[in-house]
Structure 1
Amino acid sequence: MGGRIITNQRQARELGRLRTGWSVPNDDPKKRPRPVKSKTWVISSHAEHYVEKAAELYGGTVEQWQPQGNGAPQFRVITEAQQLDAVLPGGDPLSQYNEMWSKGGCKRRCDGETEQLSRRPCLCIAEYGEDWYLLRQNVYKKDKVCAATSRLNVVLLDMPDMGVWRAETHSFYASNELAGTVDMVLSGTGGKGLVPVTLRIEPRTRVAGGQTKHFPVVVVEVRGVTPRQALSGPLPTAVALDPAAAAEGRLAIEAPRPDYLADAEGALTSDDVRDVWRKARQAGHVTKDGDDELSQKLLAIAARKDAEAKDDDGSNEGDEQGPDEEGIWDGEVVEEAPTERTTSWPAAAAPGSGARR
């Protein structure tokens, strides 16, 4: 097996972005473009065929799109979907910072306590106090403070290529809920395995200072499994990819399947291998008649165990073996009738005595 660079961060390639709005030119060319909130997901990418597939799956019309700034032209589709089924990849899929951007790039990136670029204490708190985020609701002051920026990586299973799509939101309220949901999931899975989720754009209303505000919030919901299942540890991959099948009973959410062949190889005798087969039959992993592939492999291991046992006691030498040092010849060995312990072994197995060493 090939080696890896230990210090490298392993991350899936980003295929595109999932947004909850777009911007249109302002009537005043000196002012920034005017943001437009969307009730449905907006999907963009540098690859046109990705966006074409998104339009096929979620509706909408593919169009060329120029991001703000000096970014390369892209393609986007304003879909008809208010929710997207996806899975969370392994590791921690969520990144969050309070950020302030300008045409020159990122001016501030803060974790709530320390501004990462200047290594100074949070500048927004120093200037505007603990409720600084409320200034984001004031159109004249929103550019004075950072925006709570959340980036969540998800996998869209029916889209082309292997990689992640980045859902980004600048909602303060969404940042709290996203972190809470993802942290609960990670507490159960430890960041291992996939978790089925639904990304939904949920309209919210907030009344403060005599004003009513309507705004969309990105919500992440665990999909197709109960909280008990999601918090009990990493889900089987088949369940994460098709939770509906699990809910209908077509897939079982169960402990990982034992490695029966490894257990059989570690057994001392063919009787021990027979016990492994009985365990597999009780779990429903082999057929009753033993005509499946796993049973046949276990039978082959049992036969080899018998051969190894005969090699050890010299019984495979047949007539060439003479009397022992006291002049006594081995008597003929007559196999006993199968006991109740052997009746569960398939008839095709016909195991030997498997005498324990």
Structure 2
Amino acid sequence: MGSRLMNKKREAAELGRIRTGYSRPNPNPDKGPIPVKSRTFVLTSHSREYIEQAAKLYGGRVEQWTPQRSSIAQWRVITEAPELKAILPAGDPLHQYNEMWGGGGCERRCDGVTELLKSQPCVCLAKYGENWYERSARQVCRPTSRIGVFLPDMPDLGVWRLETKSHYAADVLAGGLDTVLQATEGKGLMPVRMWIEQRTRVVDGETKQFQVVMVVPSLPKLRHALSGPISTAAALDPASLDRPAIEAGPAVVPDYAAEARQCATVEAAREVWHRANKAGHVDPKGTDDLSQELIRIADDIGKGIDTQTGEEPGDDEPGPDDEGVYDGEFVEDGEQGDEPPAAYPPAQWPTAAVPGGGRR
């Protein structure tokens, strides 16, 4: 049997990422790229093949792209599809932290109460209070949500990591997924629809726009999402959950009467009735038509009547005994002569063929 390291994560290979924004060059060469919020998802990967396939499925133009603070070029496509259909893997696929990143990597990672890298109380909450998330990303951590999903129409087995740094999206993602996980207990796959929703919020008289990533179970009815785990086949084809079941055709009833007529004994004919009774094809009390017919056939067999033709045995031809055996007659030697009768008359030569019998 195989074994696993107990202190290691068991995650599927990451084939690419699903992003909610991109960057464009800054007109000022002394400044960094300008971040842009996208109305559709942006797929990125180290594999050009994956991005080309994504462009065929979801629209958009394939282009080479280098992430910020990286020197390794990747490929990306800004999709044109309003939504993506994906599948959530089993377990809890959502990971959320408040994070701050710098030139040296992740500087702070907090679960909202404790900053985990230095095992200290939440720095942002202690310094700026409950509304710390309204401050600039340069001052505070950013609520970061990551969720791995399968894209069933893309090649290869692996997950695409959806990542968003929206405070409001963090609430919506956690609430929706927790409802599904409560129903399924994290067992089995779950088909979902994902899209980016633009929303507004008024704070201190000022209207602010923000994005929310929606991840909603893609099932025909709500009860399908809340009734427990679904099969892998249903996850790949959710519409099958609402299709009417195919009705079974009428059961084929054996021709018990024909079987009984082939029997040589009464017991064998009765056994046919017992099989029909076990299958539920006759009345256990024997009052139905089929039972009555089987009884008549058994009686005919007992009387020696031919069940196929209905012919009765003659007076000089006794019928079979209880075991269906007919008495045979033995002929003693000598009763019909010492020699058995010839099957054919003795051969004779034709007149013309008798030697010496021809005429000249």
TM-score (norm: length of structure 2) = 0.69
1:5 deviates by 1.3
In structure 1, how many angstroms separate the alpha carbons of the residues matched to 2:53 and 2:194?
18
Instruction: State the partner residue of 2:2.
Output: 3
AA partner of residue 199 (structure 1): M
Instruction: State the partner residue of 1:288.
Output: 251
Instruction: State the partner residue of 1:58.
Output: 58
Instruction: State the partner residue of 2:201.
Output: 206
SS in 1 for 2:21: strand
In structure 1, how many angstroms separate the alpha carbons of the residues matched to 2:60 and 2:245?
34
Aligned pair 1:166/2:161, yes or no?
yes
1:165 deviates by 0.6
Instruction: State the partner residue of 1:88.
Output: 88
Aligned pair 1:246/2:241, yes or no?
yes
Instruction: State the partner residue of 1:156.
Output: 151
Instruction: State the partner residue of 1:98.
Output: 98
Instruction: State the partner residue of 2:192.
Output: 197
SS in 2 for 1:72: coil
1:235-256 per-position Cα deviation (integer Å, ceiling 9, x unaligned): 1221111112333x1679xxxx
1:174-214 per-position Cα deviation (integer Å, ceiling 9, x unaligned): 00110011111111111111111101111101111221112
SS in 1 for 2:151: coil
In structure 1, how many angstroms separate the alpha carbons of the residues matched to 2:47 and 2:160?
13
In structure 2, how many angstroms separate the alpha carbons of the residues matched to 1:98 and 1:44?
23
Instruction: State the partner residue of 1:222.
Output: 217
Instruction: State the partner residue of 1:15.
Output: 15
SS in 1 for 2:52: helix
1:122-157 per-position Cα deviation (integer Å, ceiling 9, x unaligned): 00011101110111xxxxx33100110000111100
In structure 1, how many angstroms separate the alpha carbons of the residues matched to 2:48 and 2:250?
49
Distance 1:344 1:30, change over 3 A: farther
Instruction: State the partner residue of 1:341.
Output: 278
Structure with the bigger percentage of helix = 1
**1:50–1:159 CA contact under 8 A, matched in 2:** yes
1:71 deviates by 4.8
1:102 deviates by 1.0
1:248-327 to 2 correspondences below 5 Å: 249=243, 284=248, 288-289=251-252
SS in 2 for 1:185: helix
1:88-147 per-position Cα deviation (integer Å, ceiling 9, x unaligned): 011111000000111210011000000011100000011101110111xxxxx3310011
AA partner of residue 230 (structure 1): A
Q: What runs of 5+ residues in structure 1 fail to find an aligned partner? A: 136-140, 253-282, 291-331, 346-357
Instruction: State the partner residue of 1:181.
Output: 176
SS in 2 for 1:22: strand
**2:96–2:111 CA contact under 8 A, matched in 1:** yes
AA partner of residue 24 (structure 1): R
AA partner of residue 239 (structure 1): A
Identity %: 52
In structure 1, how many angstroms separate the alpha carbons of the residues matched to 2:44 and 2:245?
34
In structure 2, how many angstroms separate the alpha carbons of the residues matched to 1:30 and 1:120?
37
In structure 2, how many angstroms separate the alpha carbons of the residues matched to 1:30 and 1:115?
34
Larger radius of gyration: 2
Segment of structure 1 superposing worse, 69-78 or 158-167: 69-78
**1:245–1:251 CA contact under 8 A, matched in 2:** no
AA partner of residue 84 (structure 1): L
AA partner of residue 4 (structure 2): I
1:33-74 per-position Cα deviation (integer Å, ceiling 9, x unaligned): 221011111100001100000000000110111011125211
Instruction: State the partner residue of 1:127.
Output: 127
TM-score (norm: length of structure 1) = 0.70
In structure 2, how many angstroms separate the alpha carbons of the residues matched to 1:39 and 1:149?
19
**1:193–1:237 CA contact under 8 A, matched in 2:** yes
RMSD: 2.5
Instruction: State the partner residue of 2:289.
Output: none
Give the aligned length: 268
AA partner of residue 97 (structure 1): Y
1:226 deviates by 2.5
